[in-house]
């Protein structure tokens, strides 16, 4: 009985030696994994489908609604846009660092029977989120980020947003076409006034 027990023990030791020998013969190799993350920024106006708008516009066309124009002149003096195209939201994406958004408008081009007096760029105002109900989720207020609640258009660049954190993807600045308004006094020359508004994202 003692001899048989020793024999079994020897087999177990031999099996363990074979396993260790197998590990000793294993080989390894390595490779390099190269990952490059771009430092990118972006600003876009989107349409109702969430796609980049190609022809966004805001229009105050009261030629067929004179009563509303007269009521505005005699009352609050403010008209809301009655035609808006491809301007459901304005969004930004920033990966890192301090960033800013500026806005500027071109001088009016006027088409009409008179000189184009009575309407100024400053008569056009954006009251962020007032009518659209949008909120500026791109801004990290706890980290010192801020956005103006409202601004009037100007031919000079105006700073309207400042932040210093990543947006972590595309995020809203909190306004769209519905938040535009135009102040009228009743002395505006009849005709068509057109300006081009440019929003500029800067990440130095």
Is there a domain that residue 18 lies in?
no
pLDDT at position 8, please? 47
Q: Are 194 and 124 in contact (CB under 8 A)?
A: no
Q: Where are the beta strands (DSSP E) in 3-142?
A: 41-46, 57-59, 78-79, 83-85, 89-94, 99-105, 109-111, 124-127
Is there a domain that residue 2 lies in?
no
Is there a domain that residue 22 lies in?
no
* Average pLDDT of span 102-112: 97
Task: Look at the chain and report how many structural domains it folds into.
Answer: 1
Is there a domain that residue 120 lies in?
yes
Is there a domain that residue 113 lies in?
yes
Containing structural domain, residue 155:
41-202
pLDDT at position 38, please? 82
Q: Regarding predicted confidence, which is higher, 15 or 82?
A: 82
Nearest to 87 by CA among 28, 11, 173, 182: 173
Is there a domain that residue 20 lies in?
no
pTM score of the predicted model: 0.82
pLDDT at position 1, please? 43
Tens-place pLDDT, residues 15-56: 555 555 555 677 889 999 999 888 889 999 999 999 999 999
Task: Tell me the C-alpha distance between 49 and 196, whole Å.
Answer: 23
The model's confidence at residue 6, banded by pLDDT at 50, 70 and 90, is very low
Quick check: 135 pLDDT over 80? yes
Is there a domain that residue 8 lies in?
no
Is there a domain that residue 19 lies in?
no
* 82 φ/ψ angles, rounded to the nearest 5 degrees: -110, -5
């Amino acid at each position: 009985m003692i001899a048989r027990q020793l024999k079994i023990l020897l087999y177990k030791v031999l099996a363990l030696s074979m396993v260790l020998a197998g590990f000793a013969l294993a080989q390894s190799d390595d490779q390099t994994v190269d990952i490059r993350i771009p430092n990118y920024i972006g600003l876009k106006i989107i349409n109702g489908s969430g796609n980049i708008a190609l022809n966004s516009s805001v229009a105050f066309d009261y030629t067929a609604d004179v009563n509303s124009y007269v009521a505005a002149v005699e009352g609050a003096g403010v008209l809301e846009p009655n035609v808006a195209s491809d301007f459901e939201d304005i969004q930004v994406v920033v990966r890192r660092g301090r960033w800013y958004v500026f806005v500027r408008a071109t001088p009016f081009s006027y088409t009409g029977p008179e000189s184009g007096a009575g309407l100024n760029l400053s008569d056009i105002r954006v009251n962020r989120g007032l009518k659209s109900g949008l909120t500026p989720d791109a801004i990290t207020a706890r980290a010192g980020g801020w956005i103006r609640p409202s601004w009037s258009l100007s031919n000079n660049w105006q700073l309207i947003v400042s932040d210093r954190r990543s947006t972590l993807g595309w995020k809203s600045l909190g306004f769209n076409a519905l938040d535009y308004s135009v102040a009228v006094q009743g002395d505006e020359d009849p005709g068509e006034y057109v300006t081009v508004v440019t929003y500029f994202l800067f990440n130095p």
